[in-house]
Amino acid sequence: MSLDEGTQKPHERLAALLAGDLDLVNALIRQRMASEHAPRIPEVTAHLVEAGGKRLRPLLTLATARMCGYEGPYHIHLAATVEFIHTATLLHDDVVDESKKRRGRPTANLLWDNKSSVLVGDYLFARSFQLMTETGNLRVLGILSDAAATIAEGEVLQLTAAQDLTTTEAIYLQVVRGKTAALFSAATEVGGVIAGQPEEEVQALFDYGDALGIAFQIVDDLLDYWGSDATGKNVGDDFRERKLTLPLIKAFAAASDDEERAFWKRVIEKGDQREGDLEHAIALLNQHGALEATRQEALAWAGKAKAAMESLPQSELRDLLIDLNDYVVSRVS
Amino acid sequence: MSLDEGTQKPHERLAALLAGDLDLVNALIRQRMASEHAPRIPEVTAHLVEAGGKRLRPLLTLATARMCGYEGPYHIHLAATVEFIHTATLLHDDVVDESKKRRGRPTANLLWDNKSSVLVGDYLFARSFQLMTETGNLRVLGILSDAAATIAEGEVLQLTAAQDLTTTEAIYLQVVRGKTAALFSAATEVGGVIAGQPEEEVQALFDYGDALGIAFQIVDDLLDYWGSDATGKNVGDDFRERKLTLPLIKAFAAASDDEERAFWKRVIEKGDQREGDLEHAIALLNQHGALEATRQEALAWAGKAKAAMESLPQSELRDLLIDLNDYVVSRVS
């Protein structure tokens, strides 16, 4: 047991416990992001991959494979696969969102250009499919290519739902599954599949990743109004970008009169935002209990994730994955 | 034998001979470009897929699988896979090149926006990997994911080589393999692999697709200076976009004095192009025999494609694929 257990966060403890595997994943990532012919590719990729991301998704694959007793080599390939898919989507997201900062550094689209971000993202997608093909496991290929389609579909849905006040909670959930939960659940499911676990346990691993991912994203969207030192996001980013996240969907549905509805139409649909509007929006969110209701949904999804993981045999890794889930919602507890 | 043989082009005769298969491919494409949740996806895809492309790449897969005696269902999946990869790269290319027209119609990035083109392209990539995974054939998965990586690498290389007069013929060939030949050779190779052909025949099919793709692209780059009614391209597009294609690389290498080199530096490196520059460039290309040398290279690659295909057993489809190759270079013969 590490001396740091009291101060280390669960993902840091996972990284410490799986340090050997994680080193292999990082070496494989560095090897596969190389390009004999186009040096621009490793430049752009390294800028993002080495910017100090938490490697949360590869850790989920390593942890689930290991807790299922996997002893082969392919959890390393699969962990690198999910990190490549994640990195490719970040590169494309920053083009789509016209972002200027990511992980505290200027984005690749700003440092190089949109073209490089699009094409290097494509390269990493292709590399991820090469990596997963090397496992020779058709079932994990199906899971990961389904996840890639769900991710892209969720991103398109988010694009078309932006600024649209008729967006429902069901559409929001679909977007969240696409942008976050699909890769979390694929990461945990393939850990069990590669280890050859029985169907019931694979399902529990999928359920854990799905619910963890949804809780993670709802917390993120809640903190955008609630605020937190930890996220590094400014309060109100989603409001300024007119994104239909759960707090806003709930507040608009609960709007008590035409004046409130007119306010939301002006700031979200028309994008006419003035001094004091964010504060007024937050006041409305509180008045209708939208923040508290959103928080309760995050806690409910975290409860599902915990129950799924608790259905599996006890182990140090299982308990760390439960701690990780608790930690995700602790930011709003 | 069709009454139209005298007037139909080889790819039209292939499409007629493989009409039943091609209908199945088109039906599968329509089915898989659907999205339950995001209607933007089929809108964007249909705009491009139904704009009357020649379906050249899927025809290569159908023809090679059939000429190898394949009787199973998966050549349809593979043909749809290569068309999806092709469509995805077109969507992303148009973003990268800031194109306004494709197949005589406004591009998707113009009709919708860059965001939709990037994300729908990603969706089609993911769909293509789902389709190929369904074949259950790990070798075709390796071939097609390698091709996807080579395509993206070639596109990045083209991006970084643009406006760079030090670009060599070796780099040009690498770009051409990426942007065109990699998908041609993957399309023909998987036709043989899915049919379970011996290694030697699979290699011949790969060689045919590779050389056909390179000849195809060299002809395209040549016609950009030479002109043709058939391409629908304006003479000088590549010159105006300052692309380092084979005619220009050869002419710059052959430049006889500092004045000529200064001309190329001004118009290509600096992009300072004036009235009469294109005409002067074409005069230099002719003076140094760069167009004729380029034409000879196209013919040499077409010769390699023909030899590879002639090494395979005679059949109607084989002969049509030879005719197709002859047709590609007939535009500059």
Phi, psi of A267 (to 5 degrees): -80, -30
Residue A198: its pLDDT value, please? 97
Total CB pairs under 8 A between chain A and B: 138
Contact flag B40-A156 (C-beta cutoff 8 Å): yes
Q: What is the average pLDDT across A68-93? A: 96
Residue-wise pLDDT tens digits, B171-193: 999 999 999 999 999 999 999 99
**C-beta of residue A28 within 8 angstroms of C-beta of residue A77:** yes
Q: What is the average pLDDT across A304-313? A: 98
In this complex, the residue of A35, A122, A127 whose CB is nearest that of residue B92 is A122
Give the separation between CA B270 and CA B267, rounded to whole angstroms: 6
Name which of A86, A95, A98, A115 to mutate to probe chain B: the one with the most chain B Cβ atoms within 10 A of its Cβ: A115
Residues in B touching A141 (Cβ below 8 Å)? 129, 133, 141
**Under CATH, domain A10-330 is a member of which superfamily?**
Farnesyl Diphosphate Synthase (1.10.600.10)
Residues in B touching A121 (Cβ below 8 Å)? 122
Angle CA(A90)–CA(B32)–CA(B80) in degrees, nearest 5? 95
pLDDT band at B1 (very low <50, low <70, confident <90, very high): very low
Residue B188: its pLDDT value, please? 98
Percent of chain A with pLDDT strictly greater than 70: 95
Residue B106: its pLDDT value, please? 81
CB neighbour class for B1 (10 Å; exposed up to 12, middle 13-18, buried from 19) = exposed
Query: Scanning the structure block, which residue is given the tokens 């499409």?
Result: B15
Residue-wise pLDDT tens digits, A229-279: 555 567 888 999 899 999 999 999 999 899 999 999 999 999 999 999 999
Query: Nearest-CA distance from B283 to chain A in Å?
Result: 33
In this complex, the residue of A92, A119, A130 whose CB is nearest that of residue B159 is A119
Taking CA atoms, A193 is separated from A85, A197, A318, A330, in Å, by: 19, 6, 16, 30
Per the model's pLDDT, the better-predicted residue between A96 and A208 turns out to be: A208
Name the A residues in 38-77 with CB < 8 Å from any B CB. 38-41
Give the separation between CA B164 and CA B173, rounded to whole angstroms: 15
The CATH number, out of the four listed (1.10.600.10, 3.60.20.10, 2.60.40.10, 2.60.120.620), of the domain defined by the range B8-330: 1.10.600.10
- Written as six digits, the tokens of A94 are 């920053």
pLDDT band at A141 (very low <50, low <70, confident <90, very high): very high
Phi, psi of B101 (to 5 degrees): -135, 145
Q: What is the average pLDDT across A17-37? A: 92
**C-beta of residue B163 within 8 angstroms of C-beta of residue B270:** no
A35 touching chain B per CB within 8 A: yes
Contact flag B35-A156 (C-beta cutoff 8 Å): yes
Please tell me whether residue A182 adopts helix, strand or coil conformation.
helix
**Taking the mean position of all CA atoms in its chain, how far away is CA B131?**
21
A174 touching chain B per CB within 8 A: yes
pLDDT band at B6 (very low <50, low <70, confident <90, very high): low
Name the A residues in 100-159 with CB < 8 Å from any B CB. 114-116, 118-123, 125-127, 129-130, 133, 136, 138, 141-142, 145-146, 148-149, 151-153, 155-157, 159
Residue A324: its pLDDT value, please? 97
Residues in A touching B37 (Cβ below 8 Å)? 153, 157, 171, 174
Residue-wise pLDDT tens digits, A150-207: 999 999 998 888 899 999 999 999 999 999 999 999 999 999 999 999 999 999 999 9
pLDDT at A330 over 50: yes
